[in-house]
Amino acid sequence: MQEKLKAILDQAVAQINESQEIERLNEIRVSVLGKKGELTSVLKSMKEVAPEDRPKVGQMVNEARTQLEELLEEKRVAFAKKLREEQIKKETIDVTLPAKKPAMGHRHPNTIALEEIETIFTGMGYEVVEGPEVEYDYYNFEALNIPANHPAKDEQDTFYINSNIVLRTQTSSVQVHEMEKGKLPIRMIAPGRVFRSDEVDATHSPSFHQVEGLVIDKNITFADLKGTLAEFAKQLFGEDTKVKFRPHHFPFTEPSAEMDVSCFKCGGKGCRFCKGSGWIEILGCGMVHPHVLEMSGIDPNEYVGFAFGVGLERVALLKYEIDDMRLLYENDERFLRQF
């Protein structure tokens, strides 16, 4: 019996020492120490052992079991450690691998156009000022010399929050806020989102963007206005761009004009892009109405100024030859990536 026990023990120790992985250790454990294992079967055959030898054999079996269990555990820990070291090795970060770039969007044509406009005007000493999109009726209309019965105030054109508050229909309201501060002279542009209750089509949207400009100082004349906007047009559309002014009417300027630029596609000869005229309408402008100055607390006998407003979408559509305004609002990356 002792020899049998020793043989089992020796074989098991040899197997454990030869084993290469945790799974093999489990197999050995089952085959030796399991319910139907070799060591267990020795205990079961104890009745064949002489009664006086039984305690000794029992003790030997237990010692063999303990020895095997300790050896198995020792091996298991060693395997686990080795496995972990291999894993860590595999997971080592290779800093020379190219990085995965996050998906980047693309600057919107409106943003590109706005940055260009801002660069031109800040280069001429203008400040960029922003104001609220939800505005009092007073700042959006009244302070800009737009009387209560003016068609622009119709609910068909304007989104009313209540009778006193509107979604601004123009960024000109920002001018009033600046004038009220009383810090003169003023040289500013006010870019921002405006709202009109228009149906969506290729040239209209209930929400679009304007860039409003305002200069107030002493001895400002219409020549300053023309010179400034001619320079703006040249920087925006090219050195050869010519401008012309057509008389117009705006409530907040007097005199008022609309400015056309010579077609940058055909140079003024006339083409499909300018509908044969050689000119493209680009913005509205004029000398600030004395009444507007007065309402904001500026003495019109001392100060004069000019103002202009350009549609940001109009500039983006022209510059990038986009024929449908709706494309600007779809945010389709395939579209945006072209600019």
Run of H or E residues at 66: helix 54-90
Judged by CB, which is closer to Zn ion: 187, or 234? 234
Give the CB-nearest residue to Zn ion: 263
Strands (E) across 230-271 are located at 243-250, 253-262
- 89 Cβ neighbours under 8 A, 6+ residues apart: none
Q: Which is nearer to Zn ion, 170 or 262 (CB)?
A: 262
Chain residues that interact with Zn ion, rule: CB under 5 A: 263, 265-266, 271, 273-274
The Cα 186–Cα 286 span in angstroms is: 16
Helix axes 2-18, 22-33, angle to 10 degrees: 170
d(CA 84, CA 86): 5
| Residue 180 annotated in ligand binding | no
Nearest approach in angstroms of CB 157 to Zn ion is: 31
Kindly state the smallest distance separating residue 274's Cβ from Zn ion, in Å.
3
Q: How far is the CB of 280 from Zn ion (least distance, A)?
A: 8
Q: Which is closer to Zn ion, CB of 265 or CB of 291?
A: 265
Quote the least distance from Cβ 235 to Zn ion, whole Å: 20
- Which H/E stretch holds residue 161? strand 160-162
The least CB distance from residue 273 to Zn ion, in Å, is 5
Which C-beta is closer to Zn ion: that of 165 or that of 271?
271
Q: φ, ψ for residue 265 (rounded to 5)?
A: -85, -45
Longest distance between any two alpha carbons in the chain, whole Å: 132
Residue among 113 and 261 whose Cβ is closer to Zn ion: 261
**DSSP strands (E only) in 122-185:** 127-128, 134-136, 160-162, 165-167
